[in-house]
Structure formats: structure tokens, C-alpha cells
Amino acid sequence: MTVTSGSLRSRTDLCAAIENELSGLIGKRAASATAYGAHFTRLWELAGHNVLGGKFVRPLLLMETYDALRTRPQQKNPAATDQPRTSPPNTDNRETAISIAAAIELLHYSFLLHDDVIDGDLVRRGHPNLIGSLLAEAQSLPRTTNAEGAREGSDLHWAQTGGILMGDMLLAATHQAFARADLPHALRLRLLDLLEHTINETVAGEQLDVGLGDGIIDPHLETILMMCGYKTATYTFELPLRAAAALAGADFAVENALASAGRHLGLAFQLQDDLLSTFGDPRRHGKDPFSDLREGKETAIIAHARTTAAWPDIEPFFGRPELNGAECEYVRRHLADCGAEDFVNGLIEEQMQAFNDLLTSTIPDGVCSVLLDLAGQLEGRQS
């Protein structure tokens, strides 16, 4: 999949428009926050820094899909060149689409924050997350009221509270953007339905993930695949695609085909992530090497390994935070040898086959290009 200079340019423009919208949403709130003092304002500053430093995967998917649905069909389907393919010509929701796209990025960051609180994480992609930043700042404050012994616990408590509260405010901000969307009421209600469905599914996925990690829910492969779809694929792929279709006035058949394609692609990405975390080269993908093994994360890789004769050799090392490099290498070799790596690669191929099958029929050509471009990023990560 090659990206033309034209689409590169338009992606740069889109990124600028999304960034501008996010700056507005966050800047307005950071300004009101000053009335409540420095600590409250700091939450918005840190959140703004982290949100605006993102890659805008979800907003870009929404906007590129929206633009593709609103553009005249390409030459290979000449019979329809005079008409936009799927939407009535007199409704242009592009400005609103930008604000919904930005709101979805806020939702993403809200989920990340509460996930970080739940997982006790202080770092994301090698940098302190909001909680880590608040912790470092609390530790540098001069204080006389707390005994030094209790201070470490209260600094972390303060920082994690900041994560919960900022996640709440971003969830609220997401809903405010959807609720205020400048659209006919019925279409706004349709987007609110989508948001509600997405949050339910993401929360259900998060609960499954935590239940698997805490030993409350049994780690069957089927449960793990369901968790991957719910926790990430729904809000990362299905929500932007369905929102784009609704805003562009696409047929419901197109919207449903997009949602299915998005779910397959999302599951493939998640499985690929698990493979990279376990078998990938950390210098290339930037993830913490072996963190999944040390944390005892219940992935499809582990679910398959449990069904093989190699599991008794792996189990004693699984979920042990103190594993050294040699032990991790040992587990990794066993996971490859028992067929778990091949098995998950097979699952990814199945998902990509189902994804490709959907591109041949209902989905307009321009949107297929957007999706194939995204799928190309998956292939890039495999190499």
C-alpha cells in the first residue's frame, strides 16, 4: 500500500484540524480550571500535553472515512461519477465530524487513564503518564505535616486520585461534545446511542481483562478473544467508522459492513500487539520486553500454550515479576516451540481474511483505501 503525496498532505491538514479542535476543547477547560487553584489546573495541563502528543489514530480514521464517503466515487465506477455515492448532497457535517473525532480522542485518553489507575501503571510508552507526573511532582514538594514513612503512600494516593478524577472529567467532556453536536436531533441521538454502546462494551472488556488477571474469570481462549474485541477494537475501530458513516449519511448496510471490518481489523491489531510484546524486538516496537510474561497477562498466546504439553514447563515462570532475562528467553522459546506463536499468527490471518472479504462488496472504494492503508500499518508492524 503506497501513500500518495496528495493523501500525505491531506493527512497533515487533518491532523492540524484535529489538533486545533482538541486544543480548543482542552484549552477552554484548562482556563476555567484556574478558578479552582493550581492543582486542579495542573490536571488539565498534563492531560492536554498527553492528549495533544498522541497520534490521533481514531480521529484520523473517522475523518478519512468521512471524507472518503463524501467524495465522488473513483473512475473505476464511471456510471456514478456525477453523484456522491452514499450521502445526500446538501448535508455537510464535516465541522461536526471534526468535533466528534476530537471527542473520541478524549474518550480514548479517559479509558487509558482509568486503565493506568487499575493497572497501577506510572509509565506509558517510556514516559511518565499523568499519574507518574503527579507522583514526581508530589515527591518534590516540601512538606512537614506527614511523617516520611507515610509520605510515599500518600503521594501515590494523591497521584492515582488525579488519574481517576481526570478520567472522569475527560469522560464528561466526551459526552458534552456529543451532546452539543450541531446536528439534527435524530442524528445526534444516533451518535449518543453509539457512544453508549461503545462505553458499555469497553467497560465490559476492561472488567473481563481485570477478572482474567485477578483469577476471577477462567482464561479460556474464547473469553480472551471477546475481551480483546470489547476492550479496544470497539472504541478504536467500530466507533470512528460507525460515527463517520452516520455523519456522512451512509446507508446502514455500509455502516454495518464498516463496523464488521473494523472489528476484524481491531482484533488483528490486538493479537499482533500481544505477539510483539512476547516475541518482538523491543528496540523496534518500543514496548517493554517481557512485561506481559512478568505480569501474567492472559493472552491468546498463553491460552493456546495452556492446551499443550509444554505448559507445565512454562507455568512456573508465568506471572512472576522477578523473572530475569534468561528466564524470559526460556519461556519465549517454549511458547514458540509449543506452537502458540504460529497459532496466534493463524488467528490474525483469519481476521485479516474476514476483513478483506468485506472490502469486496458493500464498502465504497475510497473507504476501502482508507481501511487498507490502516491494515498496511499492521503489516508494517509485523516485519
Binding site for its own copies (CB under 8 A): 29, 32-33, 36-37, 39-40, 43, 114, 117-118, 138, 141, 143, 145-146, 151, 154-155, 157-158, 161-162, 164-165, 167-169, 171-172, 175-176, 178-180, 185, 188-189, 192, 195-196, 199-201, 203-204, 206-208, 210-211, 213-219, 230
Cα(17)–Cα(309) distance, integer angstroms: 54
172/161 Cα distance (integer angstroms): 17
Question: Closest approach of Cβ 215 to its own copies, in Å?
Answer: 4
Q: How far is the CB of 379 from its own copies (least distance, A)?
A: 32
Give the nearest distance from C-beta 168 to its own copies in angstroms. 6
- DSSP bridge pairs for 123: 128
Angle at 323 between CA 273 and CA 325, to 5 degrees: 75
Say how far apart CA 14 and CA 1 lie, in whole Å: 20
Q: Closer to its own copies at the Cβ: 80 or 189?
A: 189
CB 183 → its own copies: shortest distance, Å?
A: 11
Q: Which is nearer to its own copies, 45 or 350 (CB)?
A: 45
Instruction: Choose between 215 and 282: whose C-beta lies nearer to its own copies.
Output: 215
Comparison of 316 and 346: residue with beta carbon closer to its own copies: 316
* Residues near 68 by beta carbon (within 8 Å), at least 6 away in sequence: 364, 366, 367, 369, 370
Instruction: Report the b/e string of 284-315 with b at 16+ CB within 10 A.
Output: eeebebbebbbbbbbbbbbbbbbebebbeebe
Q: How far is the CB of 225 from its own copies (least distance, A)?
A: 14
At 291, list the grid cell. Answer: 512485561
* Amino acid letter for position 121: D
Whichever of 203 and 354 has its CB closer to its own copies, that residue is 203
